[in-house]
Amino acid sequence: MRYTQRVTHKAVISSAAAVAAVGLLAACGDQQAGGGGGQGAGQTSVVPGPELTGVQWGVESLTVGGKKAEPPRGGAYFEIKKNGEVQGTFGCNSFSGKVDLAGGTLKVGSLARTEMYCGDDFEERAFGVFEGELKAEQAGQKVKLTGEGGDFITLAKVEPAPLTGTEWQVTAVLEGDTAASLPKGAKARLTFGKDGRVTGSLGCNRVNAKATVHDDGTLTLGPAGTTRKMCPDDVMKTERALLGLFDGKSEYKITHRTLHLTKGDTGLTATAGKG
Q: Check: CB of residue 58 under 8 Å from CB of residue 160.
A: no
Q: Strand, helix or coil at 248? A: strand
Which of 109, 112, 106, 97 is closest to 146 using CA atoms?
106
Whole-number pLDDT of residue 136: 94
Whole-number pLDDT of residue 143: 94
Tell if the pTM clears 0.75, that is, is over it: no
Domains of the chain: 11-24+46-157 (2.40.128.270), 167-272 (2.40.128.270)
Q: Check: CB of residue 153 under 8 Å from CB of residue 129.
A: yes
Q: Check: CB of residue 107 under 8 Å from CB of residue 25.
A: no
Cα–Cα distance for residue pair 152/22, rounded to 1 Å? 22
Cα–Cα distance for residue pair 63/126, rounded to 1 Å? 9
Whole-number pLDDT of residue 49: 56
Element (H, E) at 171: strand 167-175
Q: Output phi, psi for 195, to 5 deg.
A: -85, 5
Residuewise pLDDT in 10s, the chain (275 residues): 333 444 333 333 333 333 333 333 333 344 333 444 444 444 333 334 578 888 889 999 999 999 999 998 778 999 998 888 999 999 888 899 999 988 778 999 889 988 777 777 899 999 999 999 999 998 888 999 999 999 999 999 988 899 999 999 998 898 877 778 889 889 999 999 999 999 999 999 999 999 999 999 999 999 999 999 999 999 999 999 999 999 999 999 998 788 999 999 899 999 888 54
DSSP state, residue 146: E
Q: Check: CB of residue 101 under 8 Å from CB of residue 53.
A: yes
What's the distance, Cα to Cα, between the start and end of the chain in Å? 26
Whole-number pLDDT of residue 274: 54
